[in-house]
Structure 1
Amino acid sequence: MSTVNTAVSGFARRHGALLALALTVVVASLSFDSFATGDNLENVAVSSAFLAIVALGMTFVIVSGGIDLSVGSVFALGGVLAAWGSRHGPLVALALPLVVCGLIGLVNGLLIARARLAPFIVTLAAMLGARGIMLNITDEGADTFLVAKDSLFADLGRGKLLGLGFPVWITLALFVLGGVLLRRTRFGQNVYAVGGNEDAASLMGTSVARTKVSVYVLSGLLAGLAGALNAAWLTSGVTILGQGMELEAISAVVIGGTLLTGGTGFVSGSLVGVLLLKVIQNVINQIGSLDSAYQQVVSGAFLVLVVVLRVRPVRRARAATGGGRRRSPSPG
């Protein structure tokens, strides 16, 4: 009987977000006639796509034991750069944000891995820096760059295939690739190893610094790509977007089963976490009488609940084995 209980408890911890998502969808479908309509579900899917791409990069960072607070500002900067570059063609609209945002991720990674500065401080500075660059480009937000609605770049954000928008298909493809990269490649195993124990990973021959730099570059690239796709969808580079997105991405990743301490996590859980947050927001909008601030309250409550449910078993397991892992100190 104890074995069954342990198996059920393990399944609930690993797939709790998926169970919560399924339950929420069923209740919402029965409670609101407009929830399960094709238009509403498509809206949820498209609005989830941009956050999901950012959360995918955040998953790699958190599994490696880091954190990236710059993704919201990088997302907004990527959208502005894409909208500005769209006047020169779709290739420039995509390449420009990827190059700039990838460089921001590279700087973050080098400062964290080589200079051994704290990820919180480095990415907080990058968050402020990216937002400052964006405001400088747009004259403190006074200029809004538009994307021609009949352009190929706009089609990338607004086009559909089999009833779903291109951003949704791109997101699904990225998550498949991300899952393979994290679970089936040497790089992914290095990410787990670094997040689990840096000293042990180094003794096994893993290049800790290179792995850390790579995950932050990946996070910057994906945040920039998400911003570019969002600009194509909105046909403009909106400067006020991305505020608080880093917290949403972190929440989705943690709700999906990735531990903030690193070493454990999977990309499919992050996708489920994003969908759960977006479905909850949509349900609150369906109610109509609740203020949008309740979205943050409910999201925060889910985050606390998930962390409590996951931390307690981990602590019991460590207590049973008589200890925990040690991480190498990081100055700063």
Structure 2
Amino acid sequence: MTVSYEDAVVDKPTVEEPGERGSRRDRLTALAQQHGALVALVVIAAIASLSFDSFATGGNIENMAVSSAFLAVVALGMTFVIITGGIDLSVGSVFVLGGVLAAWGSRYGTVVALLLPLAVCGLIGLINGLLIARSRLAPFIVTLAAMLAARGIMLSITDEGAQTYLVDKKSFFADLGQGKLLGIGVPVWITAVLFITGAVVLRRSRFGQHVYAVGGNEDAAALMGAPVARTKTLVYTLSGLLAGFAGALNAAWLASGVTILGFGMELDAIAAVVIGGTLLSGGLGFVSGSLVGVLLLKVIQNVINQIGSLDSAYQQVVSGAFLVVVVIAQTWLGRRRQVL
């Protein structure tokens, strides 16, 4: 019996080329880098649901969702900043300032309560962006100065923190923070819309391409014609706008411009973004990952509260440990992808 060449070829076992194996490993590494936080969130939430009867209740989930919304909005702006290779240390103070301005402006109506913090906080972000992009100053120094300036403005408005402005609980502005739509808090819906919009802008728009290009290699982006200075200015302006808006929503939720909340929020926002898979060095990041990072931090905080015997300060310890582990994992995965 004669065996043709074609039969012989078909009968041979398929041999995977080295390049194919490398490509597959590269895809797995990328998936681990992008979705590692999601896996951790699912595992921790599942364990907590089995361990604590009150964890998976509707009231607890709703409380976590609403309280996560404000940090998530801040983290959304921080995502754009970090992808460009920058950092914004002013968002915590800008968040507090936005809440105070919104509460003060609520006496003149919802429009003033929203536009005033957006205008002031957006201006702070714009100044940050111009100093960083046009004057080529270090983001760390510029935003640190902005953090102190925003805090000083807030203290001057509130008589060194002694004056707390209240929001009329019957106003439409208060409904933005305390109202519900289809049984879900309005801040959660607003946050969802902002994140969907942010994801589309980052992934589908020319501006989003410029953000990735600037973070990947600023000099190469400039050579390709990307507006580097304008892109940097816009991302810091966006960060200020979102931090101020988050502060306004928080004021509507609490029905007051609380002056002691928000300080240190910049660290939580940075941690959430990095835990979600965005590289601190820039050039790689995911809006969805930042949302997962926020939820992961909130779930950890809630689990610590469920335990009861642990001090709330342990949340900071766990968050810091998570951040260290994630940065180490990102560095290892990044080097592995370069090797592959």
Cα distance in structure 1, aligned partners of 2:117 and 2:49: 38
Figure out how many residues of one structure are paired with residues of the other and give that number: 320
Rounded to whole Å, the distance in 2 between the matches of 1:8 and 1:65 is: 25
Question: Hey, what does 2:232 align to over in structure 1?
Answer: 212
Q: 2:247 aligns with which of 219, 223, 227?
A: 227
Query: Quick check: 2:29–2:337 contact (8 Å CA) kept in 1?
Result: no
Q: Note the 1:11-26 alignment, pairs <5 A.
A: 11-26=31-46
Give 1:55's aligned residue: 75
Q: How does 1:170-249 map to 2 (within 5 A)?
A: 170-249=190-269
The answer to whether structure 1 residue 271 and structure 2 residue 291 are counterparts is yes
Query: Which is higher, the Rg of structure 1 or of structure 2?
Result: 2
Q: Residue 13 of structure 2 corresponds to which residue in structure 1?
A: none
| 1:65-117 deviations in Å (ceiling 9; x for gaps) | 11000000000000000000000000000000000000000000000001110
Which amino acid counterpart does residue 153 of structure 1 have in structure 2? F
Residue 242 to residue 82, structure 1, CA distance change in 2 (3 Å): same
Answering whether residue 145 of structure 2 is matched by residue 128 of structure 1, we say no
TM-score, normalised to structure 2, is 0.92
The root-mean-square deviation of aligned C-alpha atoms, in Å, is 1.2
Matched, 1:139 2:159: yes
1:248-267 to 2 correspondences below 5 Å: 248-267=268-287
For residues 313 and 148 of structure 1, what CA distance do their matches in structure 2 show? 51
- d(CA) in 2 for partners of 1:8, 1:106: 39
Residues of 2 paired with 1:7 and 1:66: CA distance? 27
Q: Distance in 2 between matches of 1:313 and 1:184?
A: 26
Distance of 1:130 and 1:84 partners within structure 2: 16
Native 8 Å contact 2:187 2:249 kept in 1:
yes
Deviation at 1:10, TM superposition (A): 3.2
Q: SS state of the match for residue 298, structure 2?
A: helix
Query: Which stretches of structure 1, 4 residues or more, deviate above 4 A after TM superposition?
Result: 1-7
Secondary structure of the residue aligned to 1:283 is helix
Gap runs ≥5 in structure 2: 1-15
- Segments of 5+ residues of structure 1 without an aligned counterpart are 322-332
**Residue 199 and residue 9 in structure 1: after superposition, are their counterparts in 2 closer, same or farther (change >3 A)?**
closer
- Partner of residue 44, structure 1: 64
Give me the whole-angstrom Cα distance separating, in 1, the residues matched to 2:323 and 2:333: 16
Alpha-carbon shift at residue 9 of structure 1 (Å): 3.7
The whole-number CA distance in structure 2 between the counterparts of 1:5 and 1:175 is 30
Partners of 1:150 and 1:9 lie apart in 2 by 51
Contact 2:178–2:185 (8 Å) recurs in 1: yes
1:301 aligned residue (321, 325, 340):
321
Structure 1 residue 7 displacement after superposition = 4.2
Q: After superposition, where does 1:36-185 map in structure 2 within 5 Å? A: 36-185=56-205
Aligned counterparts of 1:8 and 1:294: Cα–Cα separation in 2: 33
Q: Report if the CA contact (8 A) 2:33-2:333 is conserved.
A: no
